[in-house]
Structure 1
Amino acid sequence: MSFWSKTVYGLNILFSALLFLACVVPYTKSASLSFLSLTVPLLVLVNLLFLLYWLMVSPKRVWLSFTVLAVGYFVLGSFVQFNSMDKSASENVLKVMSFNIQGFEGHPTEMTRPNIQVFEDFIQNQNPDIICFQEFGYRRIWKKLFVNYPYRFINRQKYSKEAGVLMAIYSKYPIVDKGNINFPNSGNGASYVDVLYNKDTVRVYNLHLESLKVRPRSIKRERSDRLLGRLRNSFAKQQEQADLIRNHMDLVNYKKIVCADFNNTQYSYAYNAVKNDMKDSFEEKGFGYGRTINFWKFPLRIDFILTDPGIEVLEHENYNVKLSDHEPIMATLRIGADKEAVR
C-alpha cells in the first residue's frame, strides 16, 4: 500500500471503530461513550464514503466499512424512514403534539420575539387533542392561553418560587389525575396526566431530560476538559433520569404515551431505557431524516413521541417552523378499548 492508502485505511479503521462503539452506547451507562450517540449519522456517512472509495480503488478493503455498517444497521436501525401515513383516518383518532417551545422566546436566529398569537395560530391550525410543552415559560401562564383546551396541567403555580424548567400539558379531554416526577440535582423534570379518552384512561408523560447546556459561544471560551466534563455529567444525569422514568412507568397498568425532549438521540441509553418495548411514532410513520433541532448546525432528532404497543400509530408529522430552537412533532393515534384500564 502507498503512504496515501495506508493513511486512508488508518482513518477507515478509526471511524469504523467509533461506529462499532456507538452500537454499544444504547446498552451501557458509560457517560464517556455517550458522546457517540450524537454522532451516529455522521459516522455512518463517513463509513459509506470509505466504502465507496475502496470500491473504486481497492475492492478487497471494502469489508471493514461494510461489516461495521451492517452491524450498525441491525443494532441501531436506520435514521432515515420512508413510511407511508394513513391520511384517510379522521375519526376516533387522538392527535398528540410535543413541542419544546423555549419559553415562547422564538428561534435563536430570529431578531424579534414572535407574538403569542403566532403560537396560538399554529396550534389552532394543527388542532392537536393533547399538547405537551417543554420549557413553557413563566410569563405565559395565562388563563386565556389556548382557550380550546379546557383541561391543563402546569407543573408549577404562577409566581412560584420553585426553580426549574416549566412544563405544561394541555388537553381537550378530561384530566382525572396528574403529578410531577422530580429529578435529583437538576433543573429539568417530568410531569404526567391521566386523560379520560373514550371511557379509557391514558397516561401521558411529558419529559425534559437533562440539558447539555452547550452553546457555540461557550465552546470557544471554555477549556475543553471542563466542557467535556460538564457534558459527561449531563449524560450521566440523563441515564439516571431515564431509569427513574422507566421505573415510574412500569407501575402503570394502562396505556401510556410519552412526549419527550431527551436532549439526546435514539442511539442513547436514555432513549432506549424509556422506550423499552414502546413504539417510536417517527419510526412507525415518519418520513425522511426527522430532524427536530440543529446542534452545532448539525441536524439531530432529539424530540420523540412514544406509544404503548397496543396503540396504533397512523401518522407522524415534523413541522419545519421557526418558532423555537426545536421543531414540533405530532402523532395521530388510534387507541383501542381497554376495559381493564377504565377508572
Structure 2
Amino acid sequence: MKLKYTGIMLFALIMALPGFAKGKRGKQAMKIISYNIEYGMRADTTAGKTVFATWMRNQNPDIVCLQEANKFTQKSLEALAASYGHPYAVLQKEKGFPTAITSKYPIVNIMKVEDNMWHGFVMGTVNGYHIISLHLSPHRYESRQLDIDLILETIRQNGPFEKWIIMGDFNSVSPVDAKKYSDGRLADRLRKEEEKRPALKNLVNGEIDYSVHQRILDFGFIDSARLDKNFSEKNFGTRIDFIYISPDLKSAFTGGNFITDDFTKKYSDHRPVYMTWGK
C-alpha cells in the first residue's frame, strides 16, 4: 500500500527528525549563568541546598559559574551540581572565597589560579568554549587592576581569541554604565566608606574607577548584557556582575540579562546574570 502525505504531515515528519528543531541553521541553544551566591548560599539552610538546586533545575543552564562558593569542598560541590543536573564541577579552592564552574558537559583544560590574586579564578573549556569564573577585590582598585591584567594575559597566552566567555563578580563598574552614576551618588557612597575604613581604596583621586572594565573592553571583549534588547539601566542599581564574550560570539548571542525573581531577591545580595547563544 502506498502512503500519501499531505503538506502538514510532511512538515510534521521533518520536524520530528533528530536535530531539526534545534533552532535556525541547526544550532542548539546554550545557556550560562553567573551567580555570586553569597557565602555559599548561606540563606538556603536546607540540607544539600535543595532550594537553590530546585531553582537551578528550573533555570536549566548548560554551564554555571559561581562566586563565593564558601565552605564547599570539591566533593560537596560535585554533589550539589549533580542535584541540578550537572555531572561535572570544578572548585577553585576550598578556603576563603572560591570560584567554581559546573556543567552538563565535561570541563577540560582546567586552570585554578590563586597566587598573586585577591580571590582568584578558575578556568576550563566546555564544548570548545573557554570559560573563566572570577571574583575581584571588593576593597582596592589596585588589586582589581593587577587581577584583570593577569587574567587577560592568561587569555592572550591561551589564544586564539575565540570562544572566550569571562564572568563573575568584578566588584567594579563599567564606563558603558557611566551615565547611570553621573548623579554622583555612587562616588559619594564610596567616599563615605573610605572615610570610615581607611584601608579601602576604591576611588581614584576621588573619582569612580572604570579602569578594570576599560582594560577588558580594550582587549576586545563585549559586554553581553548590552546586546540584549531588553537591557535597561533601570533594572539595576550598581552593576558589578558581568558576562563578557569574545567578538566571534556576538552573532551567536540570543539573550542575556539579570535574573530577578522571588528566589534571587532573597537568597543572595547579588542578582545572577545569564546569557544564551547558539552553538
* Structure 2: distance between partners of 1:309 and 1:272: 16
Match of 1:274 among 190, 199, 216: 216
- 1:327 partner SS: coil
Match of 1:93 among 26, 29, 37: 29
1:134, 1:166 within 8 Å by CA — same for their partners in 2?
yes
Runs of 4+ in 1 over 6 A off after TM superposition: none
Query: By how many angstroms is 1:258 displaced?
Result: 0.7
> CA offsets per residue over residues 224-248 of structure 1, 9 Å max, x none?
xxxxxxxxxx111101111111111
1:261 — aligned with what? 169
Query: By how many angstroms is 1:122 displaced?
Result: 1.0
1:290, 1:301 within 8 Å by CA — same for their partners in 2?
no
Determine whether 1:137 maps to 2:70.
yes
Paired-residue identity, %: 28
Determine whether 1:318 maps to 2:226.
no
Instruction: Summarize the alignment of residues 59-78 of structure 1 with structure 2, pairs less than 5 Å apart.
Output: none
> CA offsets per residue over residues 95-153 of structure 1, 9 Å max, x none?
111000011123xxxxxx45311111111111110000000121472442121111111
Instruction: Summarize the alignment of residues 1-343 of structure 1 with structure 2, pairs less than 5 Å apart.
Output: 92-102=28-38, 103-106=40-43, 113-115=44-46, 116-139=49-72, 141-147=76-82, 148-156=85-93, 160=94, 163-184=95-116, 186=118, 188-195=119-126, 197=127, 201-212=128-139, 234-252=140-158, 253=160, 254-267=162-175, 268-275=210-217, 276-285=219-228, 286-289=230-233, 299-311=237-249, 312-320=252-260, 321=264, 322-335=266-279
* Structure 2: distance between partners of 1:114 and 1:105: 6
Matched AA of 1:180: K
In structure 2, do the counterparts of structure 1 residues 166 and 291 end up closer, same or farther at CA, with 3 Å as the change threshold?
farther
1:207, 1:259 within 8 Å by CA — same for their partners in 2?
yes
Matched AA of 2:111: G
1:42 — aligned with what? none
In structure 2, do the counterparts of structure 1 residues 129 and 240 end up closer, same or farther at CA, with 3 Å as the change threshold?
same
Matched AA of 1:173: Y
* Structure 1: distance between partners of 2:134 and 2:156: 16
Matched AA of 2:273: I
* Structure 2: distance between partners of 1:185 and 1:129: 28
Q: Which runs of 5+ in 2 are unaligned?
A: 1-22, 176-209
TM-score by length of 1: 0.56
TM-score by length of 2: 0.68
2:114, 2:121 within 8 Å by CA — same for their partners in 1?
yes
- 2:145 partner SS: helix
- 1:287 partner SS: coil
* Structure 2: distance between partners of 1:255 and 1:119: 29
- 2:113 partner SS: strand
In structure 2, do the counterparts of structure 1 residues 185 and 262 end up closer, same or farther at CA, with 3 Å as the change threshold?
closer
In structure 2, do the counterparts of structure 1 residues 91 and 152 end up closer, same or farther at CA, with 3 Å as the change threshold?
same
In structure 2, do the counterparts of structure 1 residues 333 and 183 end up closer, same or farther at CA, with 3 Å as the change threshold?
farther
Query: By how many angstroms is 1:164 displaced?
Result: 3.1
In structure 2, do the counterparts of structure 1 residues 271 and 96 end up closer, same or farther at CA, with 3 Å as the change threshold?
same
- 1:301 partner SS: coil
Q: Which runs of 5+ in 1 are unaligned?
A: 1-87, 107-112, 213-233, 293-298, 336-343
Matched AA of 1:168: A
- 1:273 partner SS: helix
2:113, 2:122 within 8 Å by CA — same for their partners in 1?
yes
* Structure 1: distance between partners of 2:59 and 2:173: 25
* Structure 2: distance between partners of 1:291 and 1:98: 17
1:190, 1:208 within 8 Å by CA — same for their partners in 2?
yes
Aligned length: 205
Matched AA of 1:138: K
- 1:264 partner SS: coil
